[in-house]
Amino acid sequence: MYGTTAKILRVDLTNGKIETETLSEDFYRLYPGGKALAGHILLNELPPHTDPFAPENVLVFANGLLTGAPISTATRYIVSARSPLTGGYGESEAGGFWGPELKMAGWEAIVVKGKASKPVYLWINGDQVEIRSAEHLWGQMAAEVQEAIRSELGDAKIRVLQIGPAGENLVRYAGITNDLRHFNGRNGLGAVMGSKNLRAIAVRGTQRYQALAYDAQTLLGIGGKLAKSVKENPLSWDLQDRGTPGLVEPLNTGGILPTRNFRQGAFENMDEVKWEVYEKELLTARRTCYACAVRCKREVTVDGRESAYGGPEYETVGAFGPNCGVGDIHAIAKANELCNAYMLDSISCGVTIAFAMECFEHGLLTLEDTGGLDLRFGNAEAMLEMIGRIARREGLGDLLAEGSKRAAEKIGGEAPFFAMQVKGQELAMHEPRGKYNVGMGYAISEIGADHLVVAHDSAFARPDTIQLKSAAPLGIMSALPPRSLGEEKMEMFYILEKWGSLEKVVGYCFFGPAPRSFIPVEDVLLSINAATGWNLTMEQALQIGERATNMARIFNLREGFSRKDDTLPERLFQPLENGALQGQAMPRDEFEQSLTILYGKKGWHPQTGIPSPEKLRQLGLDWAIEMLPSGG
């Protein structure tokens, strides 16, 4: 078998047992890493309705098929478990160096079960695996822990994946970081790690991916060609030049910059948080992930010194800037640093604080509730203070650590209307009232509101754009308006969702392949085939993505999710208050009709959204048919 080490490391923290599982090629062809491998493991090994914080929850770290290959953006691994934030299928992906290092150490995935009696970390040095005490690390910020682990193991090149104090304290949107700068932010999987008393996983490996490949020469050729093309493709060049913080001004101009908890689409202080200000006030350097020529990561100063945690991405600028009404780029950078040191998801944290600000302004939370904090929109100081209180679960922070959905249910009154979440997970910084497929992605995503389900509508808004032309090999030929739904738009969604899911299986970043970015669709397929020798067709490759999505869907159905959960916060069906799209709302009836159309295209029951047995057989998921609820 080529392209994979085929080995899974299995660790039971309750009894300290460490085992190796070797996958067969037949299995790996169906579930070649990432989302597909994790989905299979969770469905088969995690009993339904397991408490996410119980030792029985299964925590999976899964590399993509190509993770660690010498190809720009093929760096991603996913973490998966039952999510404490949504109660459903949990998943969060990240780039950086840890995933490739795990592959170099000889492992495709790690499956962690049980709970250690005291804090521990895993030390994986090639095929040598050790469970070590982390009692001296517990409670410390991420930078100190990384330094301590590298120091005590005597190797500065060790890659450290870890949670922070927020994960230890079971904040339901605690994340996981590697190298302090790359984040599995979403879905609260850091809290699952914390519940197992697992603070970190340190890895060192010495293999090279090329040694695994079926055709290493071709793979290296693709990687070399793509690396050279980064500066010659407008999409990747822009990612390198500005990175994601460049999104602020165009989104504001288009009226789709989430502002004041999604009430508005334009921010009057945008000039204080746009890219030129970020570049002038914060930027010190550009960095990257393993073998990636794009270099979209940013280094910044915070409080006049170089931050150990990298710079804020657009999502963080949006969540703690306009969405909290804060027009102060230095406060945003500080919020980013605090989230990354405590290891909180900056999206969920920012949106939950914005929710609390709106509750405060409506009198649902008082000064007594906030411990004296004047938690109104725009108060940067109160926002920064609240981040620490959430991570430490102090005062109101303890309630907000539960996420906006649970907090709203407890606060009562109008509060649920102010909770901008789907399936319990807070919305990312993309306004669905200007991009309807983004809204459909928020609604149907198995992990709750997620902005990386499909390439965004704006890429396909006009004929003859680079992005539309690059999608032709996927069968997407026609431009469609961003604010449209219906048959054609749902066909586009269906194709893009399979493609996006394939990326999460094989380990490509959202900022790698077309149509979002610079890697031609054909080269994605070529790279998979050069690595494996499988000679997959495009249809077979897309089916891998679709298989993974269906397993996640079945997981959620088994946990009791249904069509009513595939929806959007009520506010999005109401008009935007300002900006270029002032007065625009998501059309409710058309949205529901299009959801029905989309279910049908996916081979799911048009009304219930339950996959048909025929569909599962077609995907090779016969074994999962018995897991389906009745009503399909």
Residues in touch with another protein (CB under 8 A)? 234-235, 237-238, 241, 243-244, 246-247, 249-251, 253-255, 275, 313-315, 430, 435, 438, 451-452, 455-456, 458-459, 461-467, 510-511, 516, 580
User: Rounded distance, CA 62 to CA 10, Å?
Assistant: 12
Nearer CB in complex with another protein: 114/175: 175
Nearer CB in complex with another protein: 241/361: 241
Nearer CB in complex with another protein: 312/611: 312
Nearer CB in complex with another protein: 73/140: 73
Nearer CB in complex with another protein: 56/238: 238
422 bridge partner residues = 425
Nearer CB in complex with another protein: 275/561: 275
Which residues neighbour 263 within 8 Å (Cβ) at sequence distance 6 or greater?
Answer: 358, 571, 576, 577
Nearer CB in complex with another protein: 37/296: 296
Nearest-approach distance from CB 241 to another protein, in angstroms: 7
Q: Tokens representing 318?
A: 């949006």
Nearer CB in complex with another protein: 582/607: 582
Nearest-approach distance from CB 184 to another protein, in angstroms: 15
Within 13 Å, how many C-alpha atoms sit on residue 40's CB side? 22
Nearest-approach distance from CB 501 to another protein, in angstroms: 15
Within 13 Å, how many C-alpha atoms sit on residue 132's CB side? 19
Alpha-carbon separation of residue 19 from 196, 308, 450, 506 (angstroms): 18, 35, 34, 24
Nearest-approach distance from CB 313 to another protein, in angstroms: 6
Whose tokens are 């604080």? That residue is 353
User: Rounded distance, CA 266 to CA 226, Å?
Assistant: 37
User: Rounded distance, CA 202 to CA 206, Å?
Assistant: 14
Nearest-approach distance from CB 85 to another protein, in angstroms: 21
Nearest CA-CA partner of 95 in 204, 194, 181, 221: 181
- CB neighbour class for 33 (10 Å; exposed up to 12, middle 13-18, buried from 19): buried
Whose tokens are 């302090």? That residue is 180
Nearest-approach distance from CB 462 to another protein, in angstroms: 6
Nearest-approach distance from CB 235 to another protein, in angstroms: 5
Looking only at the bridges linking them, the beta strands covering 176-178 and 128-133 are unpaired
Alpha-carbon separation of residue 437 from 445, 452, 460, 494, 559 (angstroms): 12, 11, 11, 10, 26
Q: Where are the alpha helices (DSSP H) in 196-273?
A: 216-229, 234-241, 248-253
Q: Tokens representing 61?
A: 């770290």
User: Rounded distance, CA 85 to CA 99, Å?
Assistant: 24
Nearer CB in complex with another protein: 215/426: 426
Nearest-approach distance from CB 118 to another protein, in angstroms: 38
Nearest-approach distance from CB 452 to another protein, in angstroms: 7
